[in-house]
Amino acid sequence: ERGGNNSFTHEALTLKYKLDNQFELVFVVGFQKILTLTYVDKLIDDVHKEFRDKYRNEFQQKGTLGLLNGTFDFKDDFMRLLRDAEESSKVRAPTVMKTFEQSLKSQKTVKCMIETRGEKPKEKVKNKKNKGSKKEGIEAVAAPGKALAGDKQPSTAGEKEELTKDEILQKNREEFFKRHMKAGEKSRSPKPEAQKEKGKKPRVWDLGNSNAKVLDYSNSATNGSAEACPVEEFDPDIALGDRNREPGRLYDLEYESDDEAEEEKVIQNPSKPSTKKGGLGGMFGMLKGLVGSKSLTREDMDPVLEKMKDHLIAKNVAAEIAVQLCESVAKKLEGKVMGTFTTVTSTVKQALQEALVQILQPQRRVDVLRDVMDAQRHRRPYVVTFCGVNGVGKSTNLAKISFWLIENGFSVLIAACDTFRAGAVEQLRTHTRRLNALHPPESHGGRTMVQLYEKGYGKDAAGIAMEAISYARNQGFDVVLVDTAGRMQDNAPLMTALAKLIAVNAPDLVLFVGEALVGNEAVDQLVKFNKALADHSMAQTPRLIDGIVLTKFDTIDDKVGAAISMTYITSKPIVFVGTGQTYCDLRSLNAKAVVAALMKA
C-alpha cells in the first residue's frame, strides 16, 4: 500500500523498484546507500523496456507455464545496459553546463537575427562562427552526449556558407522551446515591454540597412569585415542590449505569445483544456471502455483520484496520508489493462478499497489473550502500558480492558503511574472497587481479581511501574496494566520521562491510545511518540508502539478516517476500539466494515 514511494533503505543498501502492471513484473535495483548513482533511474527504465520487449511473447501467450518453463537469459543484456548507463552518467556532468551557455548565447544571436529578415542567414553564420571560434577551446572536452550540444557543433563547424531559411527557422524553433523550458518568467517579462518596442521599430531597420552594405562584399571580405561588424553588433547589443532585444522580441512574441498564451491558459485554467480534451475523448473513451480493453494511464486516473482524495479527507483521513494513498494506488494501476465493461472509476475504487483493507489488516497476530496465556505459563506477569496525549480516554479504556480480562479469568494489577493529574489515583481506585464488586473473589476461587498499586502523587512514574511489576510477580498476578499521565507530544521532558518508563520496564505491549475524533494531529502525535521512544532508549532495538487503541468511536458516525491515518503511520494494528463509557463498550476492529463506511458516499 505504500507503493507511492519507490525506494527503500535497509542498513547500507538502498533499493529502487519499478512496477510493470501490464505484465505484473517488478524490477528492483539494489546499490550501496553511500554511492549517489544518478543513472539508476535510467538504468531501471532501460532494463524494463528491454526485458519486456524481449520476452513479450512468452508473457502473453504462455502465461504461468511460460514463466516456469522459459529460460530468461538476460544476464548479457543487463551487463551491457549497465555499462551504457555508467558511461552516460560520467559524460553528463560537464555537458550540462555547456548547454546552458549555449542557450544563452544562442538567444542573443536569434534576437539579432530576427531584426533583419533579408540578411538573417549571413549574420547568423558570422555570429555563430565567432561564437564557435571562442568556444572551440572550451569545447575540447565536449562529448556527443546531449542533443543540443551536438546540434550546435555541426552547425558551427560544418557551415561557413549561408544557411537556408528553413534550417534557421527550425533552429529558431528549437531555441524557442529551449527558452520555454528554461525560463517561464522570462517569456512573461517581455510582454509589458512589448508596448514600448513598437516605437523602436524604425531604428531596427537602420541597423539592418547598415548590415546590408557590409555584406555586399565577397566571402573573404566578409570574413575580414565580419570581425568589425560583429563588434559593432555587439556594442549595440550590449549597450542597447535590452532595447535591441525587444524589437526582436516582438517577432518572438508572435511565436511566444501563442505558446505563452497556451501556457497561460494551461496554467491558469488547468481544468479547461483537459475538460475540452476530456469532452471529446470522453465520448470515445466511454465507447472504448465498453467494448475493448484499454490500459490505464495517469491522465485517465487523475480526476478520479482527485475526487477520491477529497472524499477521504472529508472522512477525516489526514491530508498527507490521503495524498500518499492515492499516489500508491496510481502507481499500482498505471499501465494495467482493464477488462471489458469496467470503468476507470470502478477500477480505481476497487484498488483503493483493497489498499485500505490491507492497511487495516494486522500484519502480525492480534491476540492478547494468547500472549497472556503464554506469559502465564512462564510465571511472569504480562505488562501492558498505555500512553497517549491528554484526555483521550486512557484510564477509562484501561478499566474496560481489565474488565474484559477478568471476564476471561485473568487477575489484573493496575499500576497507577499517573502521579500528576488530580484525582487519577482516586479514579482508578473507584474502578477497582466496582470491578471487584462485579466479580467478587468468591466466584474466582478466593482471590481478588483486581488490585490497585499506587504510591500517591508526585512520585517518579518509572519507579512505581517497576515496583508494581515485581509485586505482581511475587503475588502471582497475570496481567499488569500501567496507566501513565497524558502528555503532549511536543513536551520534551515529559516524553523523555515516558521513554524512560518504557525502556526501563520493558513492557510486553505498548499501547498508544488515540481518539477517533483526531484529524491530521494523529500523524504528528504518533510520529513524535515513536521518535521519542526510539531516541531515548539505550537498547539496540528500541521498544516502539506495538498497538493502537482507538477510543470514542461512538462519537463519529462514519468519519472513520483516523483509523487509517494511525495504522498507516505506524503499520501497527488497532488492538481495541472503545465505543462508549461503560465496561462493555470494548470492540475489536472489523476492517471490512470500517472500509465500507469509509468508501460510502
Binding residues vs another protein (CB under 8 A)? 24, 26, 63-65, 67-69, 354, 357-358, 361-365, 367, 369-370, 373, 404, 407-408, 553, 576-577, 579, 586-590, 593-594
Of 1 and 119, which CB lies nearer to another protein in the complex structure?
1
- Return d(Cα 233, Cα 210) in angstroms, integer: 11
Instruction: Kindly state the smallest distance separating residue 597's Cβ from another protein, in Å.
Output: 9
Instruction: Kindly state the smallest distance separating residue 346's Cβ from another protein, in Å.
Output: 16
Of 485 and 511, which CB lies nearer to another protein in the complex structure?
511
- Return d(Cα 525, Cα 518) in angstroms, integer: 10
Of 62 and 173, which CB lies nearer to another protein in the complex structure?
62
Residue 20 DSSP class: E
User: Angle at Cα 415 formed by Cα 409 and Cα 417, nearest 5°?
Assistant: 155
Instruction: Kindly state the smallest distance separating residue 174's Cβ from another protein, in Å.
Output: 45
As beta bridge partners, residue 479 has 382, 412
Three-class secondary structure assignment of 534-570: HHCCCCCCCCCCCEEEEECHHHCCCCCHHHHHHHHHH
Q: Which helix (H) or strand (E) holds 251?
A: helix 241-268
Instruction: Kindly state the smallest distance separating residue 559's Cβ from another protein, in Å.
Output: 14
Q: Are strands 479-484 and 382-387 parallel, antiparallel or unpaired?
A: parallel
Looking at the chain, how many residues does it have?
A: 601
Residue 223 contacts by C-beta under 8 Å, 6 or more apart in sequence?
none
Of 234 and 404, which CB lies nearer to another protein in the complex structure?
404
Q: Are strands 25-32 and 13-20 parallel, antiparallel or unpaired?
A: antiparallel
Instruction: Kindly state the smallest distance separating residue 363's Cβ from another protein, in Å.
Output: 5
Q: Are strands 547-551 and 509-515 parallel, antiparallel or unpaired?
A: parallel
Instruction: Kindly state the smallest distance separating residue 264's Cβ from another protein, in Å.
Output: 45
Residue-by-residue DSSP string for 147-216: HHHHHHHHHHHH--SPPPHHHHHHHHHHHHHHHHHH-HHHHHTHHHHHHHHHHHHHHHHHHHHHHHHHTT
- Return d(Cα 376, Cα 381) in angstroms, integer: 7
Lookup result for grid cell 546552458: 100
Of 69 and 218, which CB lies nearer to another protein in the complex structure?
69
Of 499 and 516, which CB lies nearer to another protein in the complex structure?
516
Of 148 and 586, which CB lies nearer to another protein in the complex structure?
586
Beta strands in 315-470 (DSSP E): 382-387, 412-417, 450-453
Three-class secondary structure assignment of 287-347: HHHHHCCCECCHHHHHHHHHHHHHHHHHCCCCHHHHHHHHHHHHHHHCCCECCCCCCHHHH
Of 180 and 587, which CB lies nearer to another protein in the complex structure?
587
Instruction: Kindly state the smallest distance separating residue 277's Cβ from another protein, in Å.
Output: 34
As beta bridge partners, residue 577 has 550, 587
Instruction: Kindly state the smallest distance separating residue 67's Cβ from another protein, in Å.
Output: 8
Instruction: Kindly state the smallest distance separating residue 354's Cβ from another protein, in Å.
Output: 6
- Confirm if 515 and 396 have CB atoms less than 8 A apart: no
Of 153 and 361, which CB lies nearer to another protein in the complex structure?
361
Instruction: Kindly state the smallest distance separating residue 60's Cβ from another protein, in Å.
Output: 15
Of 362 and 519, which CB lies nearer to another protein in the complex structure?
362
